């Protein structure tokens, strides 16, 4: 049975013989399904959904963000030349290192699904090839973030101080990068 719930839209309540308790899933396509055990009432199931409204809205927003990013970057991803991208990022990394007085050991490129970059204990940098798709200021912030890790391995106050010395708006840029997290999930063709 499909019910419309204010602020979250259609919710599919499915009576389930197997379900032990009321449970809710938000699918990747944004569809919301609630499994209702035989002994639970519709009123209970609806109350359950209302209690989880904030969480559901967060999931829907997250999915919408991933979709928007996927649409925005779909063409660019198709056209991405991996060798060219790696060369361009490596060149920009060296420029930034020279400009701000950092040194690193080696740099390798990957297509990680969860991170833009990382810095090892030996100051080897691993960078995501999709950095080449980002707006220049966001790409630079991530490169400098990893360069700061050559001196400070954690994300403590000293790390932020050093990053903000270079980019006073680092936290705002960082939030913008978080919104593009969905881009990491999209496979390279
Ligand atoms: Zn970091």
Mean pLDDT lowest among 121-125, 141-145, 180-184: 180-184
State the DSSP code for 132. G
> Separation of 3 CA from ligand 1 center, angstroms?
44
Phi, psi of 188 (to 5 degrees): -80, 135
Q: Give domain limits for the chain.
A: 2-51, 77-185
pLDDT tens across 139-155, in order? Answer: 999 999 999 999 999 99
- Calculate how far, in angstroms, residue 84's C-alpha sits from the geometric centre of ligand 1: 25
Per-residue pLDDT band for 53 (boundaries 50, 70, 90) equals very high
pLDDT of residue 189: 66
What is the whole-number distance in angstroms between the Cα of residue 145 and the centre of ligand 1? 6
User: Helix, strand or coil for residue 37?
Assistant: strand
Mean pLDDT of 114-138: 95
Partnered with residue 3 across adjacent β-strands are: 11
Question: Who's near 67: CB < 8 A, 6+ residues apart?
Answer: 182
Q: How far from the centroid of its chain's Cα atoms is residue 178's Cα?
A: 5
The structure tokens listed for 102 are 């950092």
Within 8 A by CB and 6+ apart from 91, the residues are none
Tokens representing 159? Answer: 């790390």
CA of 77 to the centre of ligand 1 (A): 24
At residue 25, the pLDDT reads: 94
CA-to-CA distance for 112 and 184, rounded, in angstroms?
A: 7
Region 57-66: what's the mean pLDDT? 83
Ligand 1: centre distance to CA 129 (Å): 17
Class of 77-185 in CATH: alpha beta
CA distances from 43 to 3, 13, 176 (A): 12, 11, 41
CA of 188 to the centre of ligand 1 (A): 24
- On whether the CB atoms of residues 65 and 43 are closer than 8 A, the answer is no
CB neighbour class for 185 (10 Å; exposed up to 12, middle 13-18, buried from 19):
exposed
What one-character DSSP code corresponds to residue 6? T
State pLDDT tens for residues 67-91: 777 788 888 888 899 999 999 999 9
What does residue 9 show for φ and ψ, rounded to 5 degrees? 85, -150
Cα 27 to averaged position of ligand 1 atoms, centre (Å): 31
Structure tokens at 168: 């006073």
């Amino acid at each position: 049975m499909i019910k419309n719930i204010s602020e979250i839209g259609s919710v599919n309540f499915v009576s389930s013989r197997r379900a032990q308790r009321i449970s809710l899933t938000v699918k990747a396509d944004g569809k919301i399904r609630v499994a209702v055990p035989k002994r639970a009432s519709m009123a209970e199931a609806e109350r359950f959904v209302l209690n989880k409204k904030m969480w559901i809205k967060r999931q829907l927003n997250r999915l919408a963000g991933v979709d928007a990013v996927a649409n925005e970057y779909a063409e660019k991803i198709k056209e991405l030349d991996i060798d060219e991208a790696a060369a361009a990022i490596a060149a920009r990394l060296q420029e930034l290192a020279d400009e701000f007085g950092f040194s690193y050991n080696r740099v390798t490129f990957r297509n990680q699904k969860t991170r833009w970059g990382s810095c090892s204990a030996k100051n080897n940098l691993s960078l995501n090839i999709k950095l080449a798709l980002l707006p220049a200021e966001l790409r630079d912030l991530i490169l400098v973030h990893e360069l700061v890790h050559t001196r400070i391995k954690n994300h403590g106050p000293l790390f932020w101080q050093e990053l903000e010395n270079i980019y006073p708006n680092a936290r705002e840029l960082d939030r913008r990068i978080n919104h593009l997290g969905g881009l990491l999930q999209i496979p390279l063709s």
